[in-house]
Amino acid sequence: MLDDLYRQLIMEHSRTKRNHREIDNGTHIHYKNPTCGDVMTLYWKWGPDGILEDVSFVGEGCSISMASCSMMTEMVKGRSLEEVKAMRGAMEKLIREGKEPGEIDLGDALSLAGVHRLRARHNCALMPWQALDRAFLK
Ligand code: ZN
């Protein structure tokens, strides 16, 4: 079952969070999901070539939010602003509308597709992306 595989991926990311650390000399912001109480501090560092050199987070919250944070850091690291914007839009469609993007590779974050059916958890899955909005996307 694809659902089981997806659930396992979410649990695995929430237990073993990728890039769960601070960045020395990085910029950071705090972000809170008002719906569920999930909290995160997002760290990032741009490289001289306009590429996100490093992205990390420190956070606490439900498994959906922590898995989504972990997946986000893997997706955006090494990407340009334009690429991150495209991913941001694709994640919004995936979670809010349940639409999988054909042209953008969301990697492990595709496993969050089922969250579409859980309206109360939309903000959990989108938390790291909303944090990016506040950080530099919007
Ligand atoms: Zn949550």
Write the pLDDT tens digit of every residue in 75-109: 999 999 999 999 999 999 999 999 998 889 999 99
Cα(6) to ligand 1 centroid in Å equals: 17
- CATH architecture under which domain 2-137 falls: Alpha-Beta Complex (3.90)
Convert the pLDDT of each residue in 54-78 to its tens digit.
Answer: 999 999 999 999 999 999 999 999 9
Q: List, for residues 20-63, the tens digit of each pLDDT value.
A: 999 998 899 999 998 999 999 999 999 999 999 999 999 999 99
- Ligand 1 centroid – CA 18 distance (Å): 18
What's the gap in Å between 37 CA and the centre of ligand 1?
6
Contact 55, 110 (CB under 8 A): no
**What spacing in Å lies between the alpha carbon of 48 and ligand 1's midpoint?**
35
- Distance from residue 32's CA to the centre of ligand 1 (Å): 10
For residue 47, report the distance from its CA to the centre of ligand 1, in Å. Answer: 31
Give whole-number Cα distances, 91 to 24, 41, 107, in Å.
Answer: 28, 20, 11
CA distance 56 to 43: 5
Neighbours of 103 (CB within 10 A): 6
Angle between helices 2-15 and 63-76 (to 10 degrees): 80
